[in-house]
């Protein structure tokens, strides 16, 4: 059958031109106010990650997940309702798994493109995951299926510099959306991170930031985080607090009686520490531990993940909050301020 009854004409128009030599007879009609195509671009940087440990492996992109969660779904609650009409798809199982972990909406369906074959949703959000065209799964059938799952709205989430390469399927899809763009349908994401300065695209900004701030570590990630913490603590609401670096756990946790044997051994070990500790200037009471989780060292290491779990459990038992900042995440300033306001209010 050449007749097509599912997708909005502009959505299936891409597949018709790209894959079917315009042989499809499109039976759906467009409304005058329809906006069926959207493109969201993340800020410059290589946000995609590849996990390879004994327990898991695969590719995911936390920044694209955050864009979907906060900027697409979060800012359109009335439009999407319970999200029963929304599907989030990607080429990679790991990305689908991570998306389900971060976006906990019972009616939202998240899966790989392959698992969505033969199905449809009113709105399809397609995450490219990769930031580099050479890493993207550019299979023609995959792109065709991904696009044609959308009935009324197709939203593509991608990197800022990705995917306009001639001769590629994803490149042609990006060009098609941009060519048919209407007002407000091609958007630059506002999601940013202090760690974005680590990417080669921002090398000059990184050098300037490190020159401006105080060096407290051999790691650029920790120096950037210390600079951010210092700025946040200038707020009058947080004037009681001070930050110190690399504090041993045995200097923070005095009572280990409630810990398990493994937790006690970890807490008392001289090498166990937190990256940053915030405390009250007057009585030196610890109020917040902060960890910077570099991807290669933390997520790509089963051993380090076990250590992180131990540390989290210890701090939970002693009643001291711990805030973790993954270097592939975003919104560190907002998260830190929100946590400190919570601590001040609770006191």
The CATH number assigned to the domain holding 160 equals: 3.40.50.300
Q: How many CB atoms lie within 10 A of CB 308?
A: 17
Terminal-residue alpha carbon distance, the chain: 68
CA distances from 336 to 27, 42, 189, 237, 290 (A): 52, 22, 21, 13, 9
Same domain, yes or no: 203 and 143: no
Q: Write down the pLDDT at residue 301.
A: 76
Same domain, yes or no: 199 and 178: no
Token code pair at residue 153: 């709205």
Q: Write down the pLDDT at residue 84.
A: 96
Q: Write down the pLDDT at residue 94.
A: 95
Domain enclosing residue 219, as ranges: 194-346
Query: Interhelix angle for 332-346 vs 220-232, to 10°?
Result: 50
The parts of the chain modelled with pLDDT lower than 50 are none
Q: Write down the pLDDT at residue 226.
A: 95
Q: Write down the pLDDT at residue 136.
A: 80
What is the Cα–Cα distance from 317 to 80, expressed in whole angstroms? Answer: 39
Taking alpha carbons only, the member of 22, 23, 102 closest to residue 66 is: 102
Same domain, yes or no: 51 and 148: yes
Token code pair at residue 88: 């989030």
Q: Write down the pLDDT at residue 82.
A: 95
Report the domain count for the chain.
2
Same domain, yes or no: 276 and 150: no
Q: Write down the pLDDT at residue 160.
A: 76
Q: Write down the pLDDT at residue 269.
A: 92
Same domain, yes or no: 217 and 310: yes
């Amino acid at each position: 059958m050449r007749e097509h009854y599912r997708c909005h004409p502009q959505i299936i128009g891409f597949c018709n031109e790209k894959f079917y030599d315009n042989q499809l007879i499109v039976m759906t009609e467009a409304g005058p106010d329809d906006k069926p195509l959207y493109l969201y671009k993340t800020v410059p940087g290589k946000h995609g990650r590849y996990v390879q440990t004994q327990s898991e492996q695969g590719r995911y992109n936390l920044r694209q997940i955050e864009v979907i969660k906060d900027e697409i779904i979060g800012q359109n609650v009335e439009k999407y309702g319970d999200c029963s009409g929304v599907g989030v798809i990607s080429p990679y199982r790991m990305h689908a798994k991570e998306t389900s972990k971060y976006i906990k909406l019972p009616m939202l369906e998240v899966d790989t493109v392959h698992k969505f074959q033969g199905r449809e949703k009113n709105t399809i959000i397609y995450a490219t995951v990769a930031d580099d065209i050479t890493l993207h799964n550019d299979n023609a059938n995959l792109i065709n299926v991904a696009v044609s799952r959308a009935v009324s709205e197709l939203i593509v989430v991608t990197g800022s510099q990705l995917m306009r390469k001639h001769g590629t399927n994803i490149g042609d899809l990006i060009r098609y959306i941009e060519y048919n763009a209407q007002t407000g349908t091609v958007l630059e994401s506002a999601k940013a991170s202090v760690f974005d300065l680590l990417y080669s695209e921002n090398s000059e900004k990184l050098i300037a930031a490190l020159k401006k701030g105080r060096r407290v570590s051999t790691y650029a990630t920790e120096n950037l985080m210390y600079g951010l913490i210092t700025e946040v603590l200038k707020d009058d609401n947080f004037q009681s607090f001070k930050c110190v670096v690399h504090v041993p756990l045995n200097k923070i946790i005095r009572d280990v009686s409630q810990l398990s044997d493994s937790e006690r051994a970890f807490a008392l070990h001289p090498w166990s520490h937190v990256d940053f500790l915030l405390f009250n200037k007057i009585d030196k009471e610890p109020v917040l531990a902060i960890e910077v989780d570099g991807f290669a060292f933390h997520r790509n290491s089963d051993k380090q993940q076990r250590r992180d779990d131990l540390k989290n459990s210890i701090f939970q038992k002693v009643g001291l909050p711990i805030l973790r900042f993954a270097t592939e995440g975003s919104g560190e300033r907002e998260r830190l301020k929100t946590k400190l306001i919570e601590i001040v209010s609770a006191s």
